[in-house]
Amino acid sequence: MIFVLLLLLFGAAVLVVGNRALNRYEEEQERYNAERLAAVTPTNTPAPTPTQEIVIIEKNRYTVEVPASMTVTGENVTEVSKSDGNKVYAIETMSTGFEVQVTDAYGNTVGHRYGEKLETADYSLTLPDNFGISFKKCDMNAGDCLVSVTDDPQYEWCYEFADMPRLATYVFEDALAAPELDVSDNLGDEVALTWTNGAYFRDSQTSLQRIPDDAMSEETVWEYVKTWSDFMTDDLKPEGFDAYIFTDKKTGERVPYVKGMEVKGLEYRSRAPKDHGFSVLEKYLLPNSYRYNVLKEFGYGEDIKLTSRHLPDPEYTNVTITNYVAYTDTVFSTDVSFTKTIILPTLNYSKRYDSTSVRVFFIKNPDKASGREWLMADMITLQNKSEITEE
């Protein structure tokens, strides 16, 4: 019994000792593993570099509203909506503010930054409609900007008989700068535009200094204009009439006028038929035109007395014929200037010099039987009134 008890005590002692040894072994194994791990992973490993970091920056979103005719381009620019004739673009950026490119309908481009005002303006261009016009920076049709075509007052009385140029007005809205245009005149030559307060206006045609030989001779032009001027001062002898009659104030004697004669003391009494020479002038005029009817009424009217005191056979000097313009194959104009010597009985028969400048419009004669290729259709005075100076 004692033996068994001793045996049990010995066995228990062995278990206790063995368990302690096992615990020490496990502890040593954990220490050994920890040392090995420390050997391959030093405790002083540096922190990750910035390129290794994941940095989150909040995006900024901006919107730009421009007229519908414009476009906005740039990095991360997106068109998001249209309303009331405008476009709205969104710009997403990781920085504060933005910079984009804005282009108008006419090809002008500007840089636009956040906080800046986008400057725009409207430009207007008025030209004769027989001029050519196109854009330099875009493919837009100039007709898309045409707002009106109106009659030119200069040709008011010619429109009924000929296809005269009209005035075309273009408006370029919401432009970032004056549109760059190629403009050619009625001769096909380039026109240089100078914008004044956002507008350019021109109603004149480009002219030639001299009349081409195949149009009309200067001698013939002067024949037409001189006949008109003689008529206006009652110096045009009507057909079948060959003398002007004066009356001596003292004796009452009737004195036929001879060019160059002394007329002081004589009173002018024309015995011309009532048309005052219109029967001669009308052969140079386009029938039923405005100018024809005005001159006919003047020739038969009482107002002719206002000018009938000018004497016949006036002397013409300083005759110039310039500024030839061909509008079509059947219409041209030219400017005629001259000085006419007149004697006014109302001013004691003293000499005066009447300087006149007119623009005469010629239309090809539709009646070939008359023998005249061209007829006067209208006439514009280039001075407010005739300039009369003393000798």
Residue 16: is its pLDDT beyond 50? no
Task: Label residue 31 by pLDDT band (50, 70, 90).
Answer: low
- Give pLDDT, residue 364: 93
* Amino acid letter for position 48: P
SS3 category, 205: coil
Q: Is there a single domain that holds both residue 156 and residue 272?
A: no
Q: Which of 66, 71, 75 is nearest to 98 (CA)?
A: 75
Domain shared by 254 and 328, yes or no: yes
pLDDT at 12: 46
pLDDT at 197 over 90: yes
Domain boundary among 113, 131, 158: 113
- Each residue's pLDDT tens digit, 322-349: 999 999 889 999 999 999 887 766 666 6
**Using a CB cutoff of 8 Å and minimum separation of 24, what contacts does 135-142 make?**
135/106, 135/107, 135/179, 135/180, 135/181, 135/182, 136/107, 136/180, 136/181, 136/182, 137/106, 137/107, 137/108, 137/179, 137/180, 138/105, 138/106, 138/107, 140/105, 140/106, 142/170, 142/181
Domain count, the chain: 3
Q: What is the DSSP letter of 179?
A: P
294-309 pLDDT tens trace? 999 888 876 665 555 5
Please indicate, yes or no, whether residues 144 and 245 belong to a single structural domain of this protein: no
Question: Over the stretch 243-258, which tens digit does the pLDDT of each residue have?
Answer: 556 777 788 777 766 6
Q: How many residues does the chain have?
A: 391
Are 379 and 245 within one domain?
Answer: yes
Mean of the per-residue pLDDT values for the chain? 82
Domain hosting 93: range is 60-113
